[in-house]
Copies of this chain bind each other. A is one copy, B any other.
Amino acid sequence: VICTADEWGIRSHGVARLRFYCEMLIQKRINPVARPHIVKSRPSLVLVDGDNGLGMLVGSFSNAIAIERAKETGIGWVHVINSNHFGIAGYYAVQGLKDNLIGIAMTNTPPLVAPFGGIERRLGTNPISMAFPAYKEPPVVIDLATSAISLGAVENSDREDDEVPPCCLIDASGAPSTTPRDLLEGGSLLPLGGARATGGHKGYCLASMVDLMCGVFPGASWGPFVPPFINQAPILENKVGRGIGHVFGAISTGAFEDPLVVQSRVDEWIYTMRNTKVSEWAGEVLVPGDPERRAAEDNARNGLALEVNVAEDLRRLGQEFGLKLEI
């Protein structure tokens, strides 16, 4: 999962995070011998207990169930509790494409976002992902955090001594800020949409939707009680709910008619979006999934250059585990 993130150009979720996952396993904050299992099962609706396992393992296990049920019944819908950070949501949404399935993945994440009108972290960046198979064209792959900008983007701006755009961030006192450090020092991200006039209440609604579906409904942790996934972060004293929660959905494009007919329509949709008259600043109209696919093509052609500090860290990590890495 984390290699796919690097391949797709989402470096914030790539091997740079391997150390955190390893440390969490070593400290047993993630259960290294977890056995995710089905708790409740109906033909199209399933609850999985992740046994506090690695999110990628629990996620792959649970997503496979959604796919299997969609093949059997047309739709598979799996709620997951007691899991951990599962990497990029898009990884799971694309798994059913080869079986002609629409894929859905959501997860709640540790609190970083203030609810609209609030000045404390109460919600995660709670991403939503969906993938639609096309016929001749590559699939449409949607994957978005419901905050205005991601933690990764703020960290990048901080490293480059840059400002972040207005309406994305508040400092610890609740004042609007464009200074990345203000987030790292106790501020909050704002929900997608920014101010009231531009729809900040909508981003709050979307983040809430993901939190209620992934956390509150199935019994995982939620809101400010979602556990951190970085080993340096203190363990929460107030435990509410069990671990991080995910939702995986799959719907068969063949449920109503020949899947190739459906997928040809997705092609037409893609052509229609691409053929929109283009804004001067944009150069072209992209289809969701284009940036990641292009990064992957570029990486396949030219190789994937790791940042020096990430490569160094991987080498050290290898040594700690008695592995020799040729990098």
Contacts and interface: CB of A to CB of B under 8 A. Distances in A.
Residues of A contacting B: mostly: loop
A301 interface: no
Interface string A203-241: 111101101110011110011100000000000000011
A160 interface: no
Interface string A163-179: 01101101000100000
A277 B172 CA distance: 11
A321 interface: no
Nearest to A75: B45
Contacts of A45: 44, 73-75, 251, 255
Size class of the contact patch on chain A: 35 or more
B47 A73 contact: no
Contacts of A149: 197-199
Contacts of A79: 256
Contacts of A280: 174
A119 B202 contact: no
Nearest to A70: B45
Interface string A260-284: 0010011011001100111111111
A192 interface: yes
Interface centre among A132, A146, A198, A268 (most CB of B within 10 A): A198
Interface of A: 39-40, 42-45, 47, 73-75, 77, 79, 102, 114-120, 122, 128, 130, 132, 140, 142-146, 148-149, 164-165, 167-168, 170, 174, 192-195, 197-199, 201-206, 208-209, 211-213, 216-219, 222-224, 240-241, 251, 253, 255-257, 262, 265-266, 268-269, 272-273, 276-288
4 nearest CB pairs, A to B: A117-B282, A118-B276, A165-B197, A44-B44
A273 B211 CA distance: 12
Given A43-B43, A272-B224, A174 B75 contact: no
A115 B217 contact: no
Contacts of A47: 255-256
B132 A277 contact: no
